[in-house]
Structure 1
Amino acid sequence: MIAATVTGNVWSTRRIDGIPAGAFLEVEVDGSSSRMIAFDVLGSGVGERVLIAQGSVAANWFTGTPPPVDALIIGSIDDPSSAEAR
C-alpha cells in the first residue's frame, strides 16, 4: 500500500466501457514528489491523505470483469489530532 495526498481532480468526459462509477484523482506519494492518477470510489477530496492499492489487487476489488484500473484509493488516513478530539 501507498500513503499519498490528493492534489487534484482529473476530469474525464469520456471513458471506455468497463470503468465503474467513480473519480480519477491526482495524488502525490508521501515522502516524494512522485505523482500518479488513482481511481476513487470513496469520495475523497483535495488535501485528504489516502491509502492506495496498486496492480491486480486494485483491479480485482471490483466485481465482474476487472476494469483497467491500476491504482485504487482504498481508505482515508485520519488526522491523529481529530481522532483525539472524539
Structure 2
Amino acid sequence: MIRGRVTGRVWSSKAIETLPGGALLEVTTEGGASLVAFDPLGCAQGEAVLVTQGSVAAAYFTKIRAPVDALIIGSIDETQD
C-alpha cells in the first residue's frame, strides 16, 4: 500500500465506457511522487489516503474490466506515533 494525500482532482469530459463512475484524484505520496488514483470513497482535497496499485487495484472491479491501475482503498482518520 502507498500512503499519500489528495492534492487535486483530474477532470475529463471524455472517457472510455468501462471506466466506472467515480472521481479521479491526484495523490502525492509520502515520497513526493504524484499519481492519479480512482476514488470510490468520496475523498476530499487534503485527505490522507491509502492507495493500492496494479492487479490488486484492477481486481476491485468484479462486474466489469476497468482500466484502473491505482485505487484509493482507505481514508486515514488519525495516526499514532
Distance 2:79 2:29 in 1: 19
Equivalent residue for 2:9?
Answer: 9
Q: Structure 1: any 5+ residue segments left out of the alignment?
A: 82-86
Q: Structure 2: any 5+ residue segments left out of the alignment?
A: none
Secondary structure of 2:21's counterpart equals coil
TM-superposed deviation, 1:33: 1.7
Cα deviation 1:14-40 (Å, max 9, x = unaligned)? 11010011100000001x221000000
Distance 1:39 1:48 in 2: 14
Q: Which has the higher helix share?
A: 1
Secondary structure of 1:59's counterpart equals helix
Equivalent residue for 1:25?
Answer: 25
**Alignment TM-score, normalising by the size of structure 1:** 0.87
Larger Rg computed on CA atoms: 1
Runs (4 or more) in structure 1 with deviation over 3 Å come to none
Coordinate RMSD, CA, aligned? 1.3
Aligned residues with identical type, % of pairs: 54
TM-superposed deviation, 1:80: 4.2
Distance 1:4 1:33 in 2: 9
Equivalent residue for 1:84?
Answer: none
Equivalent residue for 2:51?
Answer: 52
How many corresponding residue pairs?
80
Distance 1:75 1:6 in 2: 12
